[in-house]
Amino acid sequence: MKPLYVIKIGGNVIDNSENLYHFLKDFTALDGYKILVHGGGKIATQISEQLGIEAKLVDGRRITDIETLRVVTMVYAGLINKNIVAQLQRFGTNAIGLTGADGNFIKAVKRPVKTIDYGFVGDLNNSSVNANNISNLMEAGFTPVFCALTHDGDGQMLNTNADTIASALAVALAKHYDTTLIYCFEKKGVLKDINDEDSLIREINPLRYEELKKEHIIHSGMLPKLDNAFTAIACGVKAVVIGKSDELGKLGNNEPFGTRLSKSNIS
């Protein structure tokens, strides 16, 4: 099968024009099919404040009321997405900016109200991603750039976690391509000591993962990332890599990059 990279970038890239420039240059240099996924929560919060709309967060998760949905639609699908697409065109990548509603590529279900009403937030399931349509787009020569928005199929846009979108895309497309899922963030990868960039853990298998959790070396925000990573591998993704955005070029040069989880690690 042909290689495919599904790469998710966070605020440390999006919020810094110099970081974004270098990342997109390295992204363009990668051989094979590529999909880029981005959020943009910090910029959305800044613009919300400028418009007098209070950003509501519960345990770090955004409550998306109708006013907030309007803002994130403008910011994610407009300001950030089109800036990324324009920069990629500059480097020779024929990118096309998308929400999940475009081409009916990603359909979500509005999160049910339990103890907290998250508002217009979308959750994904096994049938959310239209892999055939996305494959057709890539085979036609386009590089999809997805923002963190989906739809419910009934005319409603939904705010959806970008990490979750990246994982769902990778799993769905693993049936068509030799797929690697990459989460780019501000650290070199999973670290034994969060304050020591040289304490990088190169590979983690499920047994080692359980040990690292017991030792509290891996905790907090890294837990859902790794849980999603092992789930993606179990569902057919070739490998998941967690690494620093400004080191993506190492991947193109076949150098060690970030923390790698792959099928060979799964017992």
Extract the annotated binding site. Answer: 40-41, 62, 159
| Annotated binding-site members for substrate | 40-41, 62, 159
Task: Write down how long the chain is.
Answer: 267
Q: How far apart are CA 144 and CA 17, in angstroms?
A: 20
Q: How far apart are CA 138 and CA 33, in angstroms?
A: 7
267 neighbors 206 (Cβ within 8 angstroms) = yes
What would the two tokens of residue 135 be? 């494959």
